[in-house]
Amino acid sequence: MARVVLRDFNKFYGDFHAVRDLNIEIPDREFAVLVGPSGCGKTTTLRAIAGLESVSSGEIWIGDRMVNRVYPKDRNIAMVFQSYALYPHMTVYENMAFGLKLRKTPPGEIRERVNEAASILGIEELLGRKPRQLSGGQRQRVAVGRAIVRKPEVFLFDEPLSNLDAQLRVAMRAEISKLHKRLGATVIYVTHDQVEAMTMATTMFVMKDGLLQQAGHPLQIYRKPERAFVAGFIGSPAINFFPLPLEKDAGGRRFLQFPGNRIDVEQGAAEGVETVLTGLRPEDFETAASDERSLRVEAIPEVVEFLGDESYVHFTCMGRNTIAKLRSSVPAEVGKPLTLCINHSRLHFFDASTGARLELATL
């Protein structure tokens, strides 16, 4: 396996700047996920690593080689596509063996590699079938098996689960994660689904409009998003945002006015900021005050979604639709007032004009 490094990578399509000055390093054996909304540049980046897109400027390294001008077939990578890309007239065995035959691998070695990959994926009984005789999950396993037999330095996955139903997607997420640990492989995985990214990645790269917004371990990004976009994109249900003017009282003390509550801010913090985008994740609402400084919010539920052991309570706060994620044992009813509490330490603050994180100490 090998590490993958992109240095000042840019991609233009005419005047359109698809990826901008991207610098990332993916260590050997890492499971890296590029995540972001459609059009953010994640698939373009993956295709450039594979050699399917040219590099407008910058460098791409796989192991100790800069591969900007190396043909895809010579990069020692394997790619799994969203569409599976199986040959319909070939059996599963023939699909998995096809790439090895092109490389003139001896028949005995082909048979050994295909059988080994089929055993890993639990598809031995499917080797004689055609793709039309397989379910979506089975086709996905065959596509992964075709990559495994190559024994590449890097595995590339381009939204491989987007065509599967919800239950099968959960199962395949676990299968791919287990496969990564078993093979000790370097994996680069592209998805727009932040749940896939959070559950599978050892390192996550969040992108927007061709720019890298934040990189790190999923839990680190979730707990300390560096930009408002990242806070809003990562987490389900999405974070609640409240734009609050940074005000001063008669004594010159600065504060944020939350409904029925005043949040005092340490002097000297966030100089020059006029409006603070204050974020609170739905799961960080509390039903009892955790300390004497907790804020209290009177919520009138408009919708209550019961999801087994938890509920999503929708209500209006400061004119914005707000969601609280609570235990189902909490007696939340539509139209019946409910007191919720907020611990200062669970709030996230961002400059409303730039989206950058603010480290505001609240008093």
CA distances from 170 to 92, 126, 199, 227 (A): 24, 22, 10, 28
Second CATH level (architecture) for the domain 4-230: 3-Layer(aba) Sandwich (3.40)
Q: Reduced to 3 states, what is the DSSP secondary structure of residue 316?
A: strand
Q: Is the pTM of this model over 0.85?
A: yes
What is the gyration radius of the CA atoms in the chain, in angstroms?
25
- CB of 265 closer than 8 Å to CB of 228: no
Residue 193 has a CB neighbour count (10 Å cut-off) of 17
DSSP 8-state symbol, 42: H
Q: Give start-end residues of each CATH 2.40.50.140 domain in the chain.
A: 238-358
73 - beta bridge partners?
A: none
Correct CATH for 238-358 of 3.30.930.10, 3.40.50.720, 2.40.50.140, 3.40.50.2020? 2.40.50.140
Per-residue confidence of the chain (363 residues) as pLDDT tens digits? 689 999 999 999 999 999 999 999 999 999 999 999 999 999 999 999 999 999 999 999 999 999 999 999 999 999 998 888 899 999 999 999 999 998 899 999 999 999 999 998 889 999 999 999 999 889 988 999 999 998 899 999 999 888 788 888 888 888 889 889 888 889 999 999 999 999 999 999 999 999 999 999 999 999 999 999 999 999 999 999 999 999 888 888 888 998 878 888 887 777 888 999 999 999 999 998 887 778 999 999 999 999 999 999 999 999 999 999 999 999 899 999 999 999 988 999 999 999 999 988 776
Side-chain-side CA neighbours of 60 within 13 Å: the count stands at 23
DSSP element (H, E) containing 94? helix 92-102
Q: Give start-end residues of each CATH 3.40.50.300 domain in the chain.
A: 4-230
Side-chain-side CA neighbours of 331 within 13 Å: the count stands at 2
